[in-house]
Amino acid sequence: MTKQPRTLYQKIWDAHVVDTRDDGTCLIYIDRHIVHEVTSPQAFEALRVSGRKVRRPDLHIAVPDHNVPTTARRDANGKRIPIADPQSAQQLDMLERNAPEFGIRYIGDADREQGIVHVIGPEQGFSLPGATIVCGDSHTACNGGLGALAFGIGTSEVEHVMATQTLLLKQSKTFQVNVEGTLGAGVSPKDVILHIIGVIGTAGGTGYVIEYTGNVFREMSIEGRLTVCNMSIEGGARAGLVAPDETTFAYVKGRPYAPVGADWDKAVAWWQSLASDPGATYDKSVHIRAEDIQPTVTWGTSPEDTAPIGGVVPAPEDFADASKRDAVKHSLDYMGLTPGTRLTDIAVENVFIGSCTNSRIEDIRAAAAILKGRKKAPGVKWAIVVPGSGLVKEQAEAEGLDKIIIEAGLEWREPGCSACLAMNPDKVPSGERCASTSNRNFTGRQGPGARTHLVSPAMAAAAAVTGHLTDVRTLSENS
């Protein structure tokens, strides 16, 4: 029997089918679940009320990230500093009690391995290629950078996974996003994904799982692939992945939870078989030339509102679709922008470098390379760099990056989600702008009335030193 060529997604799916129903719905096994403090309390409560257990506690890790302040967690004597906001403190307390009660490893807020859910999964080697990975946060797709099938779930599903280690799912269609060619200098993975979302739109991937293919992704570091897959959801797709390869194996090897010995060899052999077969077909495809991608920024309140940094703020009339024209009018109003304004003329008062999209070591390095020997512009009131995890923080400090950042006049913080969603005290004041490396520029996302411009870490650093959106290619790296 000749086998039908299959895609990466299809292969991972097939390996995880526990049961198939008549209507095509499948019971899919979930290999890893990462739990945070916001979407889990009610799920734990439901388990307790119904007298149910967590079926496989060893497949879960719990860590607080959404609510934690990014200021010092311990005082001079090493004592943990309590969290001021009572509701945030309560959500943390609940997780700290729930996780051990159900046998789940808990990484505390003052633990050196604490960090953002989607940063610590890959960093710990807990997230693995070919695995099914879920978390109660929509940017779980981030883990797809390792070649895992990863997606966000709601509270009921969190409970379902805890109790049964499975989810009832229907197969998605597949969407190939192919980028070939050579990326120009100063063009980062963040620019690649912002450009892609600009091309496909925020609904482009709805109902699909994206596979990113082409030499650009094959040549990209894992950190970069994680950045790209992270924002699959902004392109409408619940998940996005890059086929695992030698770069992936080198990244995973030696991490705390990475397989060892014979298990490692077995794993690599399977991972090598996961790449889409030649002749495998996708339900749709888009092809993008790497040379067309410039350092990219957003000007509106939808992640698809992107433009190359050399461009101008568009006018509503530039759009053919009537409802989009309306949305653009609204966006520009909220953003306080006039059509025709050069993007590089937009002044920013705030800079946020962090979030699960861009808070890994490469991101901190990219920002530091621009900040080195420069100073924060006087117009920039608040500029923070928030590492994605305690381990990223240690690594950055070992490389002296924290000193460069502090010398440039930016703040070097403790890990967490921070100003990505402003659930903790890190907020952008109403009416002010922020050059942000996060993933969502929605109305009010970084605080009520906050105006977000999504950018890469290097571009955020460039904005910090010039005081306005800046083409990073006009600044040299001071090494």
Partner 1 sequence: MTPISQVSGKAYPFGRKNVDTDVIIPAHWLKTVTRDGLGKGCLESVKKEPGNVFTDPAFAGAPILIAGDNFGCGSSREHAAWALLDMGVTCVIAPSFSDIFSGNAFKNGILTVALPQDAIDRLLEVAKTDPISIDLEHQTVTTPFQDRFLFEIDPFRKHCLLNGLDEVGLTLAQDATISAYEARTGETMPFLAHPTRHTA
Tokens of 314: 């568009």
Beta-sheet pairing, 26-29 with 166-169: antiparallel
Q: Cα(359)–Cα(415) distance, rounded to whole angstroms? A: 9
> Should residue 246 be labelled a site residue for partner 1 when binding is judged by CB under 8 A?
no
How many CA within 13 A on the CB side of residue 173? 11
Least gap, CB of 226 to ligand SF4 (angstroms): 11
Q: Is 433 in the site for partner 1 (CB under 8 A)?
A: no
31 binds partner 1 (CB under 8 A): yes
Closest by CA to 275, choosing from 209, 207, 213, is: 213
Q: Is residue 258 involved in binding partner 1 (CB under 8 A)?
A: yes
The least distance separating partner 1 from the CB of residue 163, rounded to whole angstroms, comes to 5
Residue number with CB closer to partner 1 (287 or 442):
442
- Is residue 7 classed as helix, strand or coil in its secondary structure? coil
User: Cβ of residue 211: shortest distance to ligand SF4, in angstroms?
Assistant: 22
Residue 274 makes contact with ligand SF4 by CB under 6 A: no
Does 26 belong to an annotated binding site? no
Q: Is 420 annotated as a binding residue?
A: yes
Contact 398, 416 (CB under 8 A): no
Q: Which two tokens stand for residue 129?
A: 């290629």
Among positions 339-358, residues that touch ligand SF4 (CB under 6 A) are 355-356
CB of 222 to partner 1, least distance (A): 18
Residue 257 engages partner 1 in binding (rule: CB under 8 A): yes
How far is Cα 280 from Cα 301, in angstroms, rounded to an integer?
Answer: 37
Partner from partner 1, ligand SF4, none contacting 137, C-beta within 5 to 8 A by type: ligand SF4
320-339: contacts with partner 1 (CB under 8 A): none
In terms of residues, how long is the chain? 479
Give the up-direction half-sphere exposure of residue 13: CA atoms within 13 A in the CB hemisphere: 21
Burial of 246 (0-12, 13-18, 19+ CB in 10 A): exposed
**Residues 320/80, Cβ–Cβ less than 8 Å:** no
CB-CB contact of 140 with 152 (8 Å)? yes
| Residue 61 interacts with ligand SF4 (CB under 6 A): yes or no | no
The nearest distance, CB 223 to partner 1, in angstroms, is 20
Please report the sign of the dihedral spanned by the C-alpha atoms of residue 250, residue 254, residue 260, residue 262. Answer: positive
What is the footprint of ligand SF4 within residues 415-454 (CB under 6 A)? 417, 420-421, 439
Place of tokens 């339900």: 283
Site for ligand SF4 in 195-234 (CB under 6 A): none
Q: Which residues bind ligand SF4 (CB under 6 A)?
A: 65-66, 116-118, 137, 139, 355-356, 417, 420-421, 439
Residues of the binding site: 356, 417, 420
Residues of the binding site for [4Fe-4S] cluster: 356, 417, 420
Q: Which residues bind partner 1 (CB under 8 A)?
A: 15, 18-19, 27, 29, 31-32, 41-42, 45-46, 50, 52, 55-56, 58-59, 87, 90-91, 94, 126, 128, 130-131, 154-156, 159-160, 163-166, 168, 254-260, 263-264, 266-267, 270
